[in-house]
Structure 1
Amino acid sequence: MASPITIIKNDKLLFEATNIQEAARFLEEHLNTSKYKFYDSIERGYVYSIPYNFKGDEYRFVAPEEVAANRRQELEESDHKNARRIWLVSNNPEEFELARAYSECETLEWKRSRNFENGDILFLYVSGNVQQVCFKVEIIQGIVPPNEVKYNKMFWKDLKKFEESKGGKWTRFRFLDKVDTPELSLTKLREYGLKSNVQGPLKLNGELRDYIMSFFEKDLTEGYYPDEVHDNLEEGMRKTVMVNIYERNPIARKRCMDHYGVQCQICDLNFEDTYGEVGKDFIHVHHIIPLHEIQQGYIVDPINDLIPVCPNCHAMLHRKENGEYLTIEQLKERIISNRKLLQIKGNLVI
C-alpha cells in the first residue's frame, strides 16, 4: 500500500508525494542528484523524524503516524540497515569531563570511532570511579566538516590526549538525558548480556539494549512531580530536575504491580475499568521514601518502598503543603474527607 510522504524544506512545505518512490524522484530533480541516494534518508526521516541536510538546507519527511509506526516495527524486528542504531560508548572521566559538558552544552563534538549516522542513539558509559551508564545522546551530524569542529578544550583534563585527538573524523551529538542509578552499573550490564568491559563502541541489541533504554524513557507527566529541584544553579547552566529513578525501574515497577495490581492505592481508580482496553495495565508507581533520606548503597524494595498510584494522586504526593509532602494516609484521608463534604453539599455526581 502506497504511503504519502510530505517533504518539508527549512520548515516550509516543499512537496507532497504519494509514495517514497515519487518523493525520491522529486528530490533527484530538485537537487540534481541520483534518486537512489535518497531512499534511505527518506525512510529514516519519516520513521524516526531524522532530518536530511544538503548544502546548508534541512529536509524533513513526514508520513501518517500509523504508517511510520508500522514501518519502524518492521525495520527493528528485521534488524534492517535503516533501523535506528543504538550504541554503548565509553567515556574516561580522567581524560574528558563529560558531566561538565552536559551542564554547559546542548551539543558536543565527539571523535568518530564508528560510522555513526544522523539519528543514531548513543548511551555513554562513564568509566573510572563511576562505572555506569549516565547519558543518552543523539547523533545530529554524522560527519562534521574539519573547519567546523569545536574541540572543546575546556572539558579536556588530559591535554596530551586532547592534542592527540585533533584531526581525523568527528561527529556531533545533542544531549537528551542524564540518569544516575546503580542499576546501570557495569555489574548490572553484565547481568543483562554485556560480555566484556565497555571499551570501543558496541552496537546494542536484544535484552541489554532494552534494559538500558528503559531507564531513559520518560513518563510525559514526570515534570509535574519532581522529587527534588536544585535551587542553586549557575547562570547559563542547564536546569536539572532529579526525578526518582526507582519509579522508572522496569523490574521494580513490575514486581510492585504484580504484588498490588494496577489499581490506584489511594483513590481506587482502575484505568481499564474507567477507560476500557486503552487503559489496561496503565498506572504510575510512587517511591515512598524521599530522595534526601536515601543513603548510598540503598536497594529498592518493590513491595515496601513502591506503591501504584494514578497520575493525579502521584502529582499530589509530589507537591508540598506548608513545606511538607503529604503521606499516603494523609492523601487518602483528604480524599475521603472532601468526598463527604461534596456529598453534604449535594455536589457529588455518582
Structure 2
Amino acid sequence: MDSSITIIKNDNLLFEAVNIQEAAIILAEALNTTLPRCNDLIERGYVYNIPYYDKDDEYRFVASKEVADKRRKELEDNNHNNARRIWLVPANPNEYDLESAFSRYETLDWKRSCNYEKGDILFMYVSGNIKKVRYKVEVIEGLVRTNNITYDSALWIDDEKFKQSKEWKYMRFRFVDEVDTDELSLKKLREHGLKGNIQGAMKLTGELQAYIMSFFEYHLIEDYYPDEVSRTLEEGKRKTVTVNVYERNPIARKRCIDYYGVQCQVCDVDFENKYGEVGKDFIHVHHIKPLHEIQQGYIVDSIKDLIPVCPNCHAMLHRQENGRYLSIEQLKNRIFTVVK
C-alpha cells in the first residue's frame, strides 16, 4: 500500500514524503516545532481533510483514499486522540430559530464556545419545550474570520442576544441530518449515560455517543449537490444551468426526498434500479417557484416548492421555450407526446 504523504503549502507543493514519519520531519523544520505535534497535525489533516494554519500560511496533507480510510477506521475504533471529535451542543429555540436557519442557509455560523475543528461532528440538542437531540452537523471551518460572518437578525428571537452575538467568535458548520424522536429526549439521554443537564457543549464518548449516533444514518454526499447542471453542448462549449440555493439547501432537499422518494417525478427514472448500487439515493431536486417571484425573507417549503427530478429533466426545466419555463406537467407530457 502506498503510504506517501504530500504536503501542500498555500496551494503549492511543498514536499512529497514517503511516509508520515518523513512528512513530520519536513513539517517540524518548516514550523520549528516538535515531531509529535507535526505527526498529529498531518494525521488529522490527511484523514479528515483538515488544514493547518500558521499565521498567514495554510498547510494541507494528502494521502491516498485507501490509506486515509484505513487510518480513520483505526483512529475511531480505538478512540484515538486524533479521531474526529463528536460533540453534544445545546441550542435554545427561545433565543434563535435554528430550524428556519437550516431552511434558509446551506451553512450556519455558530458561536465558537469550544475549540471546534474542521471535521468535528456536532449533535444539536434543542432545549426549551422540545428537549431533544434534533440535528447532526459537521464543522467545515473551525474559526470564521470576522469579516466573513453572516449575521441575520430575523433568525434571532432574543434581540439582546443578537446584539451580544456581534462580539462572539464563530465556527461554521453544514447540516447533515435531522431526526425527531422521543428516543433522543433528555430523559432517554440520561438513561444512556448523560449526567445532569446540557448547559454547554460537551464531548461525546462511550455509550451516550453510540446511542445518539445510532439514530443518524443519513450522509450528505457533495456529488449529489452540483452547482450546475449540464444543459447542452454547442460548438465545444458547455452551457450550464446554475442550481439555485434552494435546490442545494440540504435540509430542504432531505425533507423533499423523504416525502417524494428518489424517483424522478417527471420521467419516473430510479437510478438505483437503472444503475445498481452506484445510483442509490442519487437524484436532483428542482425548485418550482420562479426566482423572480421570491420575496425577501422567503423560506422554502420542502413539499410545495421542491420536487425530485433526474439531471436531464432538471436541465430541461431550467431551459426556456418562447421565453417561458416548462412546468413539471408540461415536461411530463412532452415525454409521452411526439412533437412534430
Q: Relative to structure 1, is the Cα distance of residues 314 and 140 closer, same or farther in structure 2, using a 3 angstrom cutoff?
A: closer
Q: Aligned to 1:220, which of 222, 225, 245?
A: 225
Whether the aligned pair in 1 keeps the contact of 2:288 and 2:307 (CA below 8 Å) is no
Please give the root-mean-square deviation of Cα atoms over the aligned residues, in Å: 5.4
Q: Secondary structure at the match of 2:81?
A: coil
Q: Relative to structure 1, is the Cα distance of residues 265 and 116 closer, same or farther in structure 2, using a 3 angstrom cutoff?
A: closer
Whether the aligned pair in 1 keeps the contact of 2:286 and 2:309 (CA below 8 Å) is no
Matched, 1:173 2:175: no
Q: Secondary structure at the match of 1:38?
A: helix
The residue identity in structure 1 corresponding to 2:278 is: G
Q: Aligned to 1:208, which of 205, 212, 217?
A: 212
The residue identity in structure 1 corresponding to 2:333 is: E
Pairwise CA distance, 1:279: 3.4
Name 2:278's counterpart in structure 1: 279
Q: Relative to structure 1, is the Cα distance of residues 140 and 205 closer, same or farther in structure 2, using a 3 angstrom cutoff?
A: same
Q: Secondary structure at the match of 1:88?
A: strand
Q: 1:62-93 deviations in whole A, cap 9, x for unaligned?
A: 11233323333443344433222232311224
The residue identity in structure 2 corresponding to 1:44 is: R
Pairwise CA distance, 1:172: 3.8
Matched, 1:326 2:320: no
Q: Relative to structure 1, is the Cα distance of residues 78 and 284 closer, same or farther in structure 2, using a 3 angstrom cutoff?
A: farther
Q: Relative to structure 1, is the Cα distance of residues 337 and 143 closer, same or farther in structure 2, using a 3 angstrom cutoff?
A: closer
Pairwise CA distance, 1:280: 5.4
Q: Relative to structure 1, is the Cα distance of residues 17 and 283 closer, same or farther in structure 2, using a 3 angstrom cutoff?
A: closer
Q: Relative to structure 1, is the Cα distance of residues 316 and 213 closer, same or farther in structure 2, using a 3 angstrom cutoff?
A: farther
Q: Secondary structure at the match of 1:214?
A: coil
- Give the unaligned 5+ runs of structure 1: 231-238, 291-297, 301-305, 342-350
Pairwise CA distance, 1:244: 3.9
Q: Secondary structure at the match of 1:16?
A: strand
Q: Relative to structure 1, is the Cα distance of residues 136 and 214 closer, same or farther in structure 2, using a 3 angstrom cutoff?
A: same
Whether the aligned pair in 2 keeps the contact of 1:320 and 1:326 (CA below 8 Å) is no
Name 2:297's counterpart in structure 1: none
Name 2:112's counterpart in structure 1: 110
Q: Relative to structure 1, is the Cα distance of residues 214 and 171 closer, same or farther in structure 2, using a 3 angstrom cutoff?
A: farther
Cα distance in 2, alignment partners of residues 5 and 124 from structure 1: 35
Name 1:70's counterpart in structure 2: 70
Name 2:34's counterpart in structure 1: 34
Identity of aligned residues (%): 41
Whether the aligned pair in 2 keeps the contact of 1:90 and 1:199 (CA below 8 Å) is yes
Q: Secondary structure at the match of 2:337?
A: helix
User: Within 5 A, what are the aligned runs for 1:234-249?
Assistant: 243-249=252-258
Instruction: Please report the TM-score for the alignment, with normalisation by the length of structure 2.
Output: 0.60
Q: Relative to structure 1, is the Cα distance of residues 190 and 312 closer, same or farther in structure 2, using a 3 angstrom cutoff?
A: farther
Whether the aligned pair in 2 keeps the contact of 1:227 and 1:242 (CA below 8 Å) is no
Cα distance in 1, alignment partners of residues 101 and 309 from structure 2: 36
Pairwise CA distance, 1:29: 2.2
Cα distance in 1, alignment partners of residues 176 and 270 from structure 2: 32
Name 2:127's counterpart in structure 1: 127
Q: 1:184-211 deviations in whole A, cap 9, x for unaligned?
A: 34636449x7457754335274463364
Pairwise CA distance, 1:312: 2.8
The residue identity in structure 1 corresponding to 2:119 is: G
Name 2:11's counterpart in structure 1: 11
Q: Secondary structure at the match of 1:67?
A: helix
Cα distance in 1, alignment partners of residues 11 and 2 from structure 2: 24
Matched, 1:86 2:51: no
Whether the aligned pair in 2 keeps the contact of 1:5 and 1:62 (CA below 8 Å) is yes
Cα distance in 1, alignment partners of residues 113 and 270 from structure 2: 49
Q: 1:302-324 deviations in whole A, cap 9, x for unaligned?
A: xxxx9986443456578898566
- Give the unaligned 5+ runs of structure 2: 230-240, 290-300
Q: Aligned to 1:184, which of 172, 179, 182?
A: 179
Aligned length: 293
Cα distance in 2, alignment partners of residues 173 and 40 from structure 1: 21
Return the index of the structure with the highest Cα Rg. Answer: 1
Cα distance in 1, alignment partners of residues 287 and 170 from structure 2: 40
Cα distance in 2, alignment partners of residues 52 and 310 from structure 1: 39
Q: Relative to structure 1, is the Cα distance of residues 117 and 284 closer, same or farther in structure 2, using a 3 angstrom cutoff?
A: closer
